[in-house]
Structure 1
Amino acid sequence: MTALCTVPLWLLPLLALLPLLLILKSKQVRRTNLPPGPPKLPIIGNLHQLGELPHRSLWQFSKEYGPIMLLQLGRMPTLVVSSVEMASEIMKSHDLDCCSRPDLMGPRKLSYNNSDIAFSPYNDYWREIRKVCVLELFGMKRVQSFASIREDRVASMISSISKSTSTPINLSEMLFTLTDDITCRIAFGKSYKGREFDNGRFEEAINEAFAMLGSFSGTDFFPYVGGILDKFTGLHGRLEKCFQQFDDFYQNVIDEHLNNEKTESEQEDIIDVLLKVGRDHTGTAPLTHDHIKGILMNIFLGGVDTSAVTLVWAMTELVKNPEVMKKVQDEVRSSVGKKGKVVQAVVDQLKYLKMVVKETLRLHPPTPLLVPRETINHFTINGYDIYPKTRVQVNAWAIGRDPKCWKNPEKFMPERFMDNSIDYKGKHFELLPFGAGRRICPGIHMAASMIELTLANLLYAFDWGFPDGIKKENIDMNEEAGLTVHKKAPLYLLPINHSWDSEENIASISD
């Protein structure tokens, strides 16, 4: 009683309201229904649980916590979706609610902030720049206009391989060089391989960019203190140097184009197109040189590595599955005959080859965790509350191996796409190597054309054997995570020039 008497009279009404406040608070807590997720540690959250291959770690978690999970990665709440239904909710039903990008240090430092289409937040600038890219750079008509460049560089690679048929070749390295060369010629009009600039070589800057973008950045997970960690590890300095290398290189190339006008017989490259659009542009966002540099950065960082990785995995799966290899080679060779090479017009008719590419992208999406999105509004999904500023990761790798969607999901079986309308163009959420919705990769047609043409020519010109001591059963299929997921060990194969005479002899014996 004494204690009660010492309570100030003005405090008594507040004490009387306290039970009501607690009831309201409990109801508010119940209304805040967050998705499930694994237990987390202070400060670092769930970062320590991601492992060397985050897409596989998150796949294992989804088996326990379901296809929609909430993890805390450092200071970043991160929503992870791993099923067709949840991916459709995110990239279709709630596409506008989660179509922004998180403020990632690495990609943005190498992507001119708002001047690109891959990493910039959702705003007027992004919509304007994307419109330019879709209409002017990556439409089917523009992609077809670069067919001669792709055919020429692939033919050059095939010629080089044909001179080395007595020894195994590093196909991983050769395919990366090819996609880099094609991209350079499409973007700049010529190859810059080996060319020295004031700050180094272009291919060295590309390799350094890939290494850094696949590394851990403190500011991606700890916005305020992570910069100190990045300076301590040296990442900040490397990023600044690499960005300056790209900036100087792109400016030199742009200046060359401004000072040397093309003749009517010379083909326009991407810089020509962008400079022309910049002069004629009447939209709300001017197309500056920084915008052009940002778009070029997207093209190289998003196109070179991903196409090469897909080709390496396709050839790896084919040599491990010789019955599939024979079937696709028979299709290519019967369609082309003795013409000596496969051209783009023929590739469009190769249905089984396209199934092989789809199956490769299902099992080995080059970016298994799609480039992260960020929510801009509160919404509910599957009964759970999702709040603004939540990072969203779609595990395309897990969806591609979901037994609810795919029969024998671990088996390389292109026939699953026969009489099947599923494709990778963003309408079918079972297959998402390029994403979907507003943030779908605009370079789908460019990438598919390069991959299909290259693969068709490799299968047309050569039979493929293994180096001494290697059998299909012991090919290393381990992955190495980075900006894309590579085959950890380079793919060495023995090219064997295809003998058309022996094919005719077999045919005559059969007759």
Structure 2
Amino acid sequence: MDYYTLVFGSIFALSFLYTLAKLSSRGTKKLPPGPSPWPIIGNIHLLGAKPHVSLANLAKTYGPIMSLKLGQLTTVVISSSSMAEQVLKYQDQDFSGRFVPNAVQVHNYCEFSVGWIPVCPEWRKLRRIMNTNIFSCNRLDANQHLRSQKVKELIAYCAKCSQEGKVVDIGEVAFKINLNLLSNTLFSKDLADPFSDSKVELKDVICEIMVEVGKPNLADFFPILRKIDLQGIRRRTTIHFGKLFKIFDDLINERLEERKMGLSETSDVLETFLDITEKDPEEMEHNHIKIMFTDLFFGATDSTTSTLEWAMAEILKQPEVMKKAQAELKEIIGKGKPIEEVDTSRLPYLQCVIKETLRMHPPLPFLVPHGVDQNVKLCDYIIPKDSQVLVNVWAIGRDITFWEDPLIFKPERFWSSDMNVRGQDFDLIPFSAGRRICPALPLALRTLPVILGSLLNSFNWKLEANIGPKDLDMEEKFGFTLAKAHPLRAIPSPL
């Protein structure tokens, strides 16, 4: 008797909750269309292991602007270029807020991060400092010799592997080159040995944070669970961010000691930031520097590394693409000669390869989550206050209504096109658009073609263990960034 009472009582409770959900949905019928939510959990069960793919498939049924209920969180998903343009251009101000995941609400990170704080005077100040002192044309030109030196070190390492017949872990070496490129710009130091086969702890820490932040988190869907941290996501990101912050704290404190002793003679970004701090502590202080460095390492190492690894994977999967790129490099640069940043504008096919890689494998499958701090009208719908807004750039890059054969890697599709990734062409926005566009975009556009072109102009490449191009595993590993699930390992040989 107790058993049947429990069963029927549970059925009644679920039915009651379902009825409440239906009544609630009737009261919000101006929401964009979407799948009917289950009681309590809403549509969480539809996310799957690869939410970018699941939501792209759902958009085929419900349209380019779709709403879901993830627990108590209303989430609006944008899956077409026209809707992305509406959100990121025409209504940029309405959607310039952020939905801040619980995973990054640790160590006060999101309170100082350019990527996460709302658009406000503090945000404008930090963006101005970043753009002026790191990403301006003058600053990038002044540091070009550092980037050139790091690319030479990468080629020297690959040459050593070529002589010894050793396999190169493309993702690992790409991360090291990007890490050292950035660390020398910021504080005149290498953080990785380019000639060592050892793993870089910093890479593992950054990758782990990206995976944790990308996971569907019950603490985001049910605010009551935030203190409980059922999945342990916040606990793990607290540890990982703590490791990053210790590295940057040590570097800052070391430089401060050098300045006290009159031993600092560098003119890097850290020195500039400390000068700003001394002149006006309200303009910038220790936490600003540390967290800005964290933002930069996320934006300029993990995502760039991912793009280079995917580009090489696609090239190895289609050897004819490698031949075309190498033929262009031989004709314009000269076989085996170093490539400078000024040369890349004369390499249109190489630029096509990078655009096609960013179309098929955007560094972030969803742009950093946008949010609204009040009810916003979008087309004929109302986006409720505190909703999360996801722009599925992975889906936009594979939209069959715009791209011909979207699942085929075909750089030639950009051959006669002036489309670029600077945030004006909404069919290709891997770095976002509008006021929230990635601040590191100017650096990425300089480094990606030089590193990729140098690898192709210095060596022939083949997959390890006689793996055929058609057998190359192209599985994705979902996280905040979209990494390759299995490392790309290839063998360089002389041209």
Instruction: Please give the per-residue CA displacement for 1:418-455, whole angstroms capped at 9, x wherever unaligned.
Output: 23221111111010100011111010011122211110
SS for the counterpart of 1:174 is helix
**Which moved further from structure 2: 64-73 or 339-348?**
339-348
After superposition, residues 86-165 of structure 1 pair within 5 angstroms as: 86-109=83-106, 112-165=109-162
Shift of 1:293: 1.3
Output the aligned Cα RMSD. 2.6
Shift of 1:202: 4.6
**Which moved further from structure 2: 121-130 or 213-222?**
213-222
Aligned partner of 1:273: which letter? Answer: T
The aligned residue for residue 42 of structure 1 is: 39
Asked whether the equivalents of residues 217 and 226 of structure 1 are also in contact (C-alpha less than 8 Å), the reply is: no
The aligned residue for residue 227 of structure 1 is: 227
Asked whether the equivalents of residues 114 and 126 of structure 1 are also in contact (C-alpha less than 8 Å), the reply is: no
CA distance in 1, matches of 2:451, 2:379: 43
The 1:370/1:152 distance shift into structure 2, 3 A limit, reads: same
Shift of 1:203: 5.0
Shift of 1:289: 1.1
The aligned residue for residue 9 of structure 2 is: none
1:242 to 218, 240, 248: 240
CA distance in 1, matches of 2:324, 2:71: 49
Asked whether the equivalents of residues 375 and 387 of structure 1 are also in contact (C-alpha less than 8 Å), the reply is: yes
Shift of 1:306: 0.4
The aligned residue for residue 52 of structure 2 is: 55
Shift of 1:250: 1.6
With structure 2 as the length reference, what TM-score do the two structures score?
A: 0.87
The aligned residue for residue 349 of structure 1 is: 346
1:251 to 236, 239, 249: 249
2:396 to 395, 399, 410: 399
For structure 2, the residue ranges without an aligned partner over 5 or more in a row are 1-22, 194-199
After superposition, residues 229-378 of structure 1 pair within 5 angstroms as: 230=229, 232-261=230-259, 268-280=267-279, 286-337=283-334, 340-378=337-375
Aligned partner of 2:132: which letter? Answer: L
Asked whether the equivalents of residues 150 and 182 of structure 1 are also in contact (C-alpha less than 8 Å), the reply is: yes
**Pairing 1:182–2:181 present:** yes
Shift of 1:331: 1.3
The aligned residue for residue 422 of structure 2 is: 425
SS for the counterpart of 1:468 is helix
Asked whether the equivalents of residues 329 and 459 of structure 1 are also in contact (C-alpha less than 8 Å), the reply is: yes
CA distance in 2, matches of 1:440, 1:481: 22
Aligned partner of 2:226: which letter? Answer: G
How many residues align? The count is 463
CA distance in 1, matches of 2:409, 2:266: 40
The aligned residue for residue 22 of structure 1 is: none
The aligned residue for residue 462 of structure 1 is: 459
Shift of 1:273: 2.6
CA distance in 2, matches of 1:491, 1:50: 27
**Pairing 1:411–2:395 present:** no
With structure 1 as the length reference, what TM-score do the two structures score?
A: 0.85
Asked whether the equivalents of residues 97 and 378 of structure 1 are also in contact (C-alpha less than 8 Å), the reply is: no
The 1:252/1:495 distance shift into structure 2, 3 A limit, reads: same
CA distance in 1, matches of 2:255, 2:58: 51
Bigger CA radius of gyration:
1
CA distance in 2, matches of 1:385, 1:422: 32
Aligned partner of 2:152: which letter? Answer: A
Shift of 1:105: 1.8
CA distance in 2, matches of 1:274, 1:359: 37
Shift of 1:216: 4.3
CA distance in 1, matches of 2:262, 2:457: 36
Aligned partner of 1:372: which letter? Answer: P
The aligned residue for residue 170 of structure 2 is: 171
Instruction: Please give the per-residue CA displacement for 1:70-97, whole angstroms capped at 9, x wherever unaligned.
Output: 0111221010010011101110111111
Instruction: Please give the per-residue CA displacement for 1:182-236, whole angstroms capped at 9, x wherever unaligned.
Output: 2222222102338xxxxx96555435434433444332222222330x2x54433
SS for the counterpart of 1:162 is helix
CA distance in 2, matches of 1:303, 1:435: 15
